[in-house]
Structure 1
């Protein structure tokens, strides 16, 4: 009987994650990892670093092939997606994507491996991500010890980016940076790819039957990863209701959405509301026709994925001196 009880499923979100009554967590996808490397095709180098041994917070760092000595490069701090509970910075999906982006944009990347729900419910991912941002910022002075950051990074040209849940994290890091600030670092811009944002009131086509089902499932999932939240209008989830919304720290934002993604309308809503919030920066949007959520990670060599990669790389370099 005890064994039968232990095997009882308490939370089931196929095809992503399942939790059993005895507390065991079964991640159904996103478990594969690959080591850091020197990429054969691009020459991009990567290595892993531990940011906080106590919590296990870590990151994977990337530099382009043969950086020019004393020539500082833009830095992108990247937050992976996966619903706050699957995938890591070390998964082949993200390792391959970041490799391609570093090669295309000629930038340095810190890909953050925050702790995941449900073992570490939100807001842990936000706290870990902020700790990673502070660690990055420490290298703008003599305090940081990571050679790649001290040697190759222009701390006057730092960007935040992420996809899906990682896009949500990137936005919240820009808000926190705007409130708390970190000396020696300038956040120039932010890229939100198919960002996960919520809200009790339907936006655009969210009231349609198909999209309404997706919204209801996302709201249920939110309570799983963030049980202490105020629901989908929690300011961390619905940025528009956040009193600090207009304090996004950067000067420019690129929001990327996909036509068939049920989160598309929230991305458009974010873009429109940020533009009229009094923030004062420039916000752009790129919608890709015929594609669904994070298509660029699922089929990275397709024409639309390549176009998206090039658009992001252009955004990261368009004001380069």
Structure 2
């Protein structure tokens, strides 16, 4: 029996965990699990979920270490999850477990942003949501009301952005927006980019010997951002952005993994940022023998623990 039109696949990103059918159905078969907020019995880290914008459904998960001294404010990390802009959420076990560990180790407060995902909400919606979340966070620097964990415990002179993969792409672009537009009441100290999902028309480094992987990366970008200017769009290839040097922080840590196709994009970003006239300090850490976002899937391995320590050190 012939399959119906509705069963025809128009976009197959099975390796990522996503298929889209001709009738518009989206089938996600990875990154769909969620866990509720909690108090971690071992570390005392608490989490809770907040709605930032009821109209769009933009929300976030907040994390706080053992209730701190209100007279000693803590650094704040705004985190953007990965998943190719189209799978995973801020409530995924991968991110919940990772951020629990990071909060406990670094003694920081975290806002993990649950932006809307493609293809139902194509880019630039994730960027718009993320900027709305950043501005919501910043509003607490002077507000009399609002979220108590932010209002009472955050040092707004010590704010950081971070993300992995697509989330690292968002973190860079939010940092650039801070540099271009400013962010009242907040000092963005630094950005941590973990295995950033960047690209470009011309292959660099190991992309030249992995053209299938390069093609997948480029196709995914156009899929999540149909109205983009191709792989050299400045949102995807930040080096092509004439405002690249306007990044609104004083330091950046780029983390890459030796076996990751995106590794050379991370190195390229570092080298070009140093040459751009930006004026800050950029560091790079490479995990030998590891692949893309290995630290989420194997958080207790030596390389994951070393990466965690480096991130903690960067923020403190």
TM-score norm. by structure 2 comes to 0.98
Matched, 1:124 2:106: no
Structure 1 residue 314 displacement after superposition: 0.7
Report what 1:251 is aligned to: 250
Structure 1 residue 183 displacement after superposition: 1.2
Offset from partner CA, 1:282-310 (integer Å, 9 cap, x none): 00000010000000001111111111111
Q: Are the equivalent residues in 2 in contact too, given 1:135–1:144 (CA < 8 A)?
A: no
Structure 1 residue 2 displacement after superposition: 11
| Secondary structure in 1 matching 2:309 | helix
Could you tell me how far apart the structure 1 residues matched to 2:66 and 2:45 are?
5
Could you tell me how far apart the structure 1 residues matched to 2:196 and 2:98 are?
17
Counterpart mapping for 1:153-302 below 5 A: 153-208=154-209, 211-302=210-301
Larger deviation, residues 136-145 vs 177-186: 136-145
Structure 1 residue 143 displacement after superposition: 5.6
User: How much is the aligned-residue C-alpha RMSD, in angstroms?
Assistant: 1.2
Offset from partner CA, 1:208-238 (integer Å, 9 cap, x none): 1xx2221111111111111101111001000
Structure 1 residue 69 displacement after superposition: 2.2
| Secondary structure in 1 matching 2:4 | helix
| Secondary structure in 2 matching 1:285 | strand
Report what 1:9 is aligned to: 9
Offset from partner CA, 1:219-271 (integer Å, 9 cap, x none): 11111111101111001000001011000000000000000000000000000
- After superposing on structure 2, the runs of 4+ consecutive aligned residues of structure 1 that deviate more than 6 Å are none
Structure 1 residue 3 displacement after superposition: 7.3
- Aligned positions, number: 315
Structure 1 residue 203 displacement after superposition: 1.4
Structure 1 residue 144 displacement after superposition: 5.2
Structure 1 gaps, min length 5: none
Could you tell me how far apart the structure 2 residues matched to 1:31 and 1:185 are?
33
Report what 1:316 is aligned to: 315
Report what 1:102 is aligned to: 103
Structure 1 residue 66 displacement after superposition: 2.4
Structure 1 residue 202 displacement after superposition: 1.4
Larger deviation, residues 267-276 vs 143-152: 143-152
Report what 1:134 is aligned to: 135
TM-score norm. by structure 1 comes to 0.96
Structure 2 gaps, min length 5: none
